[in-house]
Amino acid sequence: MGPNIGGEQPKLPIPGVRNLIAVGSGKGGVGKTTVAVNLALALAHLGFKTGLLDADVYGPNVPLMMGIRDQPQASGERIRPLEQYGLKLMSMGFLNPGDKPLVWRGPMLNSVIQQFLRGVDWGDLDYLVIDLPPGTGDVQLTLIQTAPVTGAIIVTTPSEVSLEDARKAVLMFKQVRVPVLGIVENMSYMIAPISKERIDVFGQGGGKRTAAVMGVPFLAELPLDPLVRIGGDSGRPVTLNGDADSNAAGFIQLAKTMIEGLAASGGPKGPSIVIED
């Protein structure tokens, strides 16, 4: 039996972590991990101390996308996170490397998620970005019901199938009283390499319309670009290229928009950094 959505459970803070940002989606295949990885790198680019928790325990892709396959070491009774590109990292992929599948039931996975949150020595972080599994299952609910999540970002594509599931994800977060920071429309469009024509592969404007209907902010339209995929597959995400790269600039602007939204709703916890345009 899954967690009681309406039930109140104590949300204990994560030592040293000021803001938990959950990145979720109603379904898989929308580029949620790509957004989570590049959002975390964008926050680090802006000068924030940032960590990335890969909570997608069944399909942990963060090790591949971040280009690191080491195994975490113990630090006393806690686990020391790995570090890459200025981010502190934890993923089931570091503990269960290769293609071996996890055949675990809900309670075991919930225990692992709690260990990743509270048994990892995250140190001093402004933001811990959490890449949630797709959907609205037990792992997602357990995490967001027991951790003080600052806010959630929902990733979708413009297609109606994706948007239908994105609405379910928004409602889940609202039901457990986690602020929805907004919707990100990923793979929103592509630019033809020769004609430079914009092609709306999965439809147009669905994310913006859904955000308006659900009463949440619309954060970004991110293009479908082979260079984003190549960056993830090669272990060097595009945001590492900095503001001069148009794809990186999109993720950096997403981070700025998210921070501005947090400021408008009461502000992120902890010291702020002035973000220059």
CA distance 13 to 239: 29
**What's the pLDDT score for residue 147?**
87
Residue 164 lies in a domain: yes
Site of tokens 């994560």 = 14
Residue 192 lies in a domain: yes
Residue 10 lies in a domain: no
The residues that bridge with 88 in the sheet, in sequence order, are 51, 83
At residue 200 the predicted structure's pLDDT band, cuts being 50, 70 and 90, is confident
Closest residue by Cα to residue 153 from 168, 169, 139: 169
- pLDDT surpassing 80 at residue 17: yes
- What is the average per-residue pLDDT within 218-228? 94
SS3 track for the chain: CCCCCCCCCCCCCCCCECCEEEEECCCCCCCHHHHHHHHHHHHHHCCCCEEEEECCCCCCCHHHHHCCCCCCEEECCEEECEEECCEEEEEHHHHCCCCCCCCCCHHHHHHHHHHHHHCECCCCECEEEEECCCCCCHHHHHHHHHCCCCEEEEEECCCHHHHHHHHHHHHHHHHCCCCEEEEEECCCCEECCCCCCEECCCCCCHHHHHHHHHCCCEEEECCCCHHHHHHHHHCCCHHHHCCCCHHHHHHHHHHHHHHHHHHHCCCCCCCCCCCCC
Question: Is 5 or 180 the better-scoring residue by pLDDT?
Answer: 180
- What is the average per-residue pLDDT within 227-232? 95
- What is the average per-residue pLDDT within 111-119? 85
Question: How confident is the model over 163-195, as pLDDT tens digits?
Answer: 999 999 999 999 888 999 999 999 987 888 888
Residue 270 lies in a domain: no
CA distance 30 to 156: 6
Query: Which of 76-80, 100-104, 192-196 has the lowest average pLDDT?
Result: 100-104
Mean pLDDT of the residues in the chain: 87
Residues of the domain holding 28 = 20-264
Residue 142 lies in a domain: yes
At residue 1 the predicted structure's pLDDT band, cuts being 50, 70 and 90, is very low
For 60, half-sphere exposure in the C-beta direction (CA atoms, 13 angstrom radius) is 25
Residue 207 lies in a domain: yes
CATH at residue 59: 3.40.50.300
CA distance 16 to 269: 11
Residue 233 lies in a domain: yes
**What's the pLDDT score for residue 229?**
94
The domain total for the chain is 1
- pLDDT surpassing 50 at residue 4: no
Q: Is residue 89 a contact partner of residue 82, using CB atoms and an 8 Å limit?
A: yes
Residue 274 lies in a domain: no
